[in-house]
Structure 1
Amino acid sequence: MAKQTLHRGRLIDHLQLVVNDLPASRRFYGAVFQALEIPVGGAGEDYFWADELFVSTADSRAAQGELTGRQHFAFQARDRAMVDAFHRAALANGGRDHGAPGERPYHPGYYAAFVLDPDGNNIEAVHHGQAERSAGSVEIVF
């Protein structure tokens, strides 16, 4: 059996969005992931995933016929340029502006952009300014 390695963040193990229009979501998130340099981890007829985010149709086994409600979550960006690229890519691929790139008052250096995905979820990309990470991710090998 081949070894598999996963990388996970600090708090959330995974998120699932259940969407109305999977092809529209594939286009939107594919462009967003490319701008953020996040590889798509896998895809099937009724789902796709990247890192901790799983996106599926209501017909997928995990969704059990139910759509998710309006969600908000943020992707981490390496720098301000990556936040700007996220915003441009999202708008060019079916997203709607919900807050142009800029500094926010949450803490000094908080630079973010907000878009609504094709299902109305509030998706953010944020760069927290100069900071030092203890690790790029948590590595899980099984």
Structure 2
Amino acid sequence: MEAQQLHRGRLIDHLQLVVSDIAASKRFYEAVARVLEIPVGGSAADYFWIDELFVSTADSQAAQGHLTGRHHLAFQARDRKVVDAFYRAGLEAGGRDNGKPGERPYHPGYYAAFLLDPDGNNIEAVFHGEAKRSAESVVVTF
């Protein structure tokens, strides 16, 4: 069995979105994940995952036949250029504009872009400005 690594220590352990069109969602999320340098963890016919984000069809065992509602999810971006690239890649992969890249009033330096994914979920990439991290994440290896 191949070793698996998880990155932990951030606020959310994992999030699952249940979508109506798995192919459209996979195209969208793989495009924005490439720009954000987040590796795709794996996939099957009815699901895929990227880091702590799991996306599945309503027919998957975990979904139990129900679509999720509209959600907001924000990915961390390394810098403003990555936020801009996220926005372009997401639009090219079927996302819809929900807020062009730019400064937001949430705190000084908050630079973000918003897209609606194929199911209408509000997906954001945000760079919080120059800051020093104690670590990128906690790596757990099985």
Q: Same fold (TM over 0.5)?
A: yes
Partner of residue 130, structure 1: 130
Partner of residue 66, structure 1: 66
Amino acid at match of 1:45: A
What is the rounded CA distance, in whole Å, between the counterparts of 1:43 and 1:98 in structure 2?
28
**Equivalent residues in 2 for 1:100-139 (5 A)?**
100-139=100-139
Give the TM-score of the pair, scaled to structure 1: 0.97
Offset from partner CA, 1:93-131 (integer Å, 9 cap, x none)? 110000000000000000000000000000000000000
Partner of residue 22, structure 1: 22
Between the two proteins, the alignment pairs up a number of residues equal to 142
Partner of residue 42, structure 1: 42
Amino acid at match of 1:32: V
What is the rounded CA distance, in whole Å, between the counterparts of 2:9 and 2:58 in structure 1?
26
- Supply the RMSD in Å over aligned alpha carbons: 1.0
Query: Given the superposition, is the C-alpha separation of residues 9 and 96 from structure 1 closer, same or farther in structure 2, using an over 3 Å criterion?
Result: farther
Offset from partner CA, 1:16-65 (integer Å, 9 cap, x none)? 00000000001111111111111100000100001000000000011011
- Counterpart contact for 1:8–1:51, Cα < 8 Å: no
What is the rounded CA distance, in whole Å, between the counterparts of 2:2 and 2:27 in structure 1?
31
What is the rounded CA distance, in whole Å, between the counterparts of 1:27 and 1:2 in structure 2?
26
What is the rounded CA distance, in whole Å, between the counterparts of 1:26 and 1:2 in structure 2?
24
